[in-house]
Protein backbone atom coordinates (compact mmCIF):
# COMPACT_ATOMS: atom_id res chain seq x y z
CA UNK A 1 0.00 0.00 0.00
CA UNK A 2 1.29 3.44 -0.90
CA UNK A 3 1.06 6.10 1.78
CA UNK A 4 -1.57 8.82 1.70
CA UNK A 5 -0.28 12.32 1.00
CA UNK A 6 -2.78 14.03 3.29
CA UNK A 7 -4.92 13.03 6.27
CA UNK A 8 -7.50 15.41 7.73
CA UNK A 9 -8.91 14.10 11.01
CA UNK A 10 -12.14 15.74 12.13
CA UNK A 11 -12.45 15.34 15.89
CA UNK A 12 -14.75 16.61 18.61
CA UNK A 13 -17.22 15.29 21.11
CA UNK A 14 -20.54 13.70 20.23
CA UNK A 15 -22.83 16.23 18.58
CA UNK A 16 -19.99 18.50 17.43
CA UNK A 17 -20.91 17.74 13.82
CA UNK A 18 -18.02 15.52 12.74
CA UNK A 19 -20.05 13.29 10.43
CA UNK A 20 -21.99 16.20 8.92
CA UNK A 21 -18.81 18.21 8.31
CA UNK A 22 -17.15 15.11 6.84
CA UNK A 23 -19.98 14.70 4.33
CA UNK A 24 -20.07 18.38 3.42
CA UNK A 25 -16.28 18.58 3.03
CA UNK A 26 -16.42 15.51 0.79
CA UNK A 27 -19.09 17.20 -1.33
CA UNK A 28 -16.99 20.37 -1.64
CA UNK A 29 -13.93 18.37 -2.69
CA UNK A 30 -15.98 16.37 -5.20
CA UNK A 31 -17.39 19.56 -6.75
CA UNK A 32 -13.81 20.81 -7.15
CA UNK A 33 -12.72 17.51 -8.71
CA UNK A 34 -10.29 16.72 -5.88
CA UNK A 35 -9.79 12.98 -5.49
CA UNK A 36 -10.27 11.87 -1.88
CA UNK A 37 -11.98 9.38 0.40
CA UNK A 38 -14.11 10.17 3.46
CA UNK A 39 -14.53 7.73 6.33
CA UNK A 40 -16.58 7.95 9.52
CA UNK A 41 -14.27 5.72 11.54
CA UNK A 42 -16.92 4.77 14.13
CA UNK A 43 -18.94 3.07 11.39
CA UNK A 44 -16.06 0.64 10.81
CA UNK A 45 -16.34 -0.65 14.38
CA UNK A 46 -20.07 -0.98 15.04
CA UNK A 47 -20.17 -4.54 16.27
CA UNK A 48 -20.60 -6.81 19.25
CA UNK A 49 -17.84 -9.32 18.69
CA UNK A 50 -17.72 -12.82 20.15
CA UNK A 51 -15.53 -13.83 23.06
CA UNK A 52 -14.64 -10.33 24.20
CA UNK A 53 -12.74 -9.33 21.08
CA UNK A 54 -12.12 -5.59 20.85
CA UNK A 55 -14.40 -3.68 18.48
CA UNK A 56 -11.82 -0.87 18.56
CA UNK A 57 -9.15 -3.28 17.34
CA UNK A 58 -11.45 -4.50 14.59
CA UNK A 59 -12.26 -0.91 13.66
CA UNK A 60 -8.58 -0.09 13.11
CA UNK A 61 -7.98 -3.31 11.16
CA UNK A 62 -10.96 -2.35 9.00
CA UNK A 63 -9.45 1.11 8.51
CA UNK A 64 -6.23 -0.49 7.32
CA UNK A 65 -8.13 -2.57 4.76
CA UNK A 66 -10.16 0.41 3.55
CA UNK A 67 -7.01 2.55 3.23
CA UNK A 68 -5.30 -0.18 1.23
CA UNK A 69 -8.31 -0.37 -1.10
CA UNK A 70 -8.44 3.40 -1.64
CA UNK A 71 -4.68 3.63 -2.06
CA UNK A 72 -4.75 0.94 -4.75
CA UNK A 73 -7.26 3.12 -6.61
CA UNK A 74 -4.99 6.16 -6.47
CA UNK A 75 -6.58 8.02 -3.56
CA UNK A 76 -3.97 10.11 -1.72
CA UNK A 77 -6.20 12.31 0.48
CA UNK A 78 -8.26 10.96 3.35
CA UNK A 79 -10.88 12.71 5.48
CA UNK A 80 -11.51 10.86 8.73
CA UNK A 81 -14.15 11.60 11.39
CA UNK A 82 -13.41 10.28 14.87
CA UNK A 83 -13.40 11.55 18.46
CA UNK A 84 -9.68 11.01 19.08
CA UNK A 85 -9.28 10.90 22.85
CA UNK A 86 -5.53 10.66 23.36
CA UNK A 87 -2.12 10.71 21.73
CA UNK A 88 -1.89 6.90 21.62
CA UNK A 89 -5.06 6.70 19.51
CA UNK A 90 -3.80 9.49 17.26
CA UNK A 91 -0.52 7.62 16.76
CA UNK A 92 -2.39 4.38 15.97
CA UNK A 93 -4.62 6.12 13.45
CA UNK A 94 -1.75 8.07 11.87
CA UNK A 95 0.38 4.95 11.66
CA UNK A 96 -2.31 3.03 9.78
CA UNK A 97 -3.02 5.83 7.30
CA UNK A 98 0.67 6.68 6.96
CA UNK A 99 0.10 10.15 5.51
CA UNK A 100 2.99 12.51 4.93
CA UNK A 101 0.81 15.43 6.12
CA UNK A 102 -1.68 15.05 8.98
CA UNK A 103 -3.93 17.88 10.15
CA UNK A 104 -6.44 17.62 13.00
CA UNK A 105 -9.52 19.83 13.09
CA UNK A 106 -11.51 19.96 16.32
CA UNK A 107 -15.14 20.98 15.92
CA UNK A 108 -16.77 22.69 18.87
CA UNK A 109 -20.15 24.06 19.88
CA UNK A 110 -21.77 24.78 23.22
CA UNK A 111 -22.46 21.76 25.41
CA UNK A 112 -26.18 22.54 25.28
CA UNK A 113 -26.22 22.55 21.47
CA UNK A 114 -24.21 19.33 21.24
CA UNK A 115 -26.45 17.59 23.78
CA UNK A 116 -29.53 18.71 21.84
CA UNK A 117 -28.06 17.38 18.58
CA UNK A 118 -27.37 14.02 20.22
CA UNK A 119 -30.84 13.97 21.77
CA UNK A 120 -32.42 14.52 18.34
CA UNK A 121 -30.14 12.06 16.54
CA UNK A 122 -30.19 9.23 19.09
CA UNK A 123 -33.79 8.33 19.79
CA UNK A 124 -33.15 4.75 20.89
CA UNK A 125 -32.45 2.92 24.14
CA UNK A 126 -28.99 4.44 24.65
CA UNK A 127 -30.04 8.08 24.20
CA UNK A 128 -29.58 9.00 27.87
CA UNK A 129 -26.09 7.47 27.97
CA UNK A 130 -25.04 9.23 24.77
CA UNK A 131 -26.31 12.63 25.95
CA UNK A 132 -24.48 12.16 29.28
CA UNK A 133 -21.28 11.32 27.39
CA UNK A 134 -21.20 14.64 25.49
CA UNK A 135 -19.70 16.78 28.28
CA UNK A 136 -17.41 14.00 29.55
CA UNK A 137 -15.95 13.34 26.10
CA UNK A 138 -15.62 17.06 25.45
CA UNK A 139 -13.47 17.39 28.59
CA UNK A 140 -11.29 14.45 27.53
CA UNK A 141 -10.72 15.91 24.05
CA UNK A 142 -10.14 19.39 25.46
CA UNK A 143 -7.44 18.10 27.82
CA UNK A 144 -5.75 16.05 25.08
CA UNK A 145 -5.13 19.16 22.92
CA UNK A 146 -4.40 17.13 19.80
CA UNK A 147 -5.92 19.55 17.31
CA UNK A 148 -4.01 21.61 14.77
CA UNK A 149 -6.89 24.11 14.74
CA UNK A 150 -10.42 24.49 16.10
CA UNK A 151 -13.59 25.54 14.29
CA UNK A 152 -16.88 26.52 15.87
CA UNK A 153 -19.81 24.59 14.40
CA UNK A 154 -22.76 26.48 15.82
CA UNK A 155 -25.10 29.16 14.43
CA UNK A 156 -23.57 29.03 10.95
CA UNK A 157 -24.14 27.07 7.75
CA UNK A 158 -22.50 23.65 7.54
CA UNK A 159 -21.02 24.57 4.16
CA UNK A 160 -19.15 27.47 5.81
CA UNK A 161 -17.80 25.17 8.51
CA UNK A 162 -16.58 22.58 5.99
CA UNK A 163 -15.12 25.24 3.70
CA UNK A 164 -13.20 26.88 6.56
CA UNK A 165 -11.91 23.47 7.63
CA UNK A 166 -10.62 22.63 4.15
CA UNK A 167 -9.03 26.08 3.80
CA UNK A 168 -7.23 25.84 7.15
CA UNK A 169 -6.08 22.31 6.32
CA UNK A 170 -4.62 23.56 3.06
CA UNK A 171 -6.75 21.25 0.93
CA UNK A 172 -8.42 24.06 -1.03
CA UNK A 173 -7.76 27.73 -1.70
CA UNK A 174 -10.24 30.57 -1.74
Inside any domain, residue 128:
yes
Inside any domain, residue 174: no
64, part of any domain: yes
Instruction: Quote the number of domains for the chain.
Output: 1
Report if residue 79 sits inside a domain. yes
Q: What is the 3-state secondary structure (H, E, C) of the chain?
A: CCCCCEEEEEECCCCCCHHHHHHHHHHHHHHCCCCCEEEEHHHHCCCCCHHHCCHHHHHHHHHHHHHHHHHHCCCCEEEEECCCCCHHHHHHHHHHHCCCEEEEEEEECCHHHHHHHHHHHCCCCCHHHHHHHHHHHHHHHHHHCCCCEEEECCCCCHHHHHHHHHHHHCCCCC
pTM of the model: 0.96
How do residues 102-114 score in pLDDT, each as one tens digit?
999 999 999 999 9
150 domain residue, yes or no: yes
pLDDT digits over 15-68, tens only?
Answer: 999 999 999 999 999 999 999 999 999 999 998 899 878 889 999 999 999 999
The CATH number of the domain holding residue 89 is: 3.40.50.300
Amino acid sequence: MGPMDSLLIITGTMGAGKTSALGEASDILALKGITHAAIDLDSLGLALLPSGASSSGAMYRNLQSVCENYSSLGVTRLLLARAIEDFAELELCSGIVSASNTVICRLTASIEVMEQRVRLRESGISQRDYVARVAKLNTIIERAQLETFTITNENRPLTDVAHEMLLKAGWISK
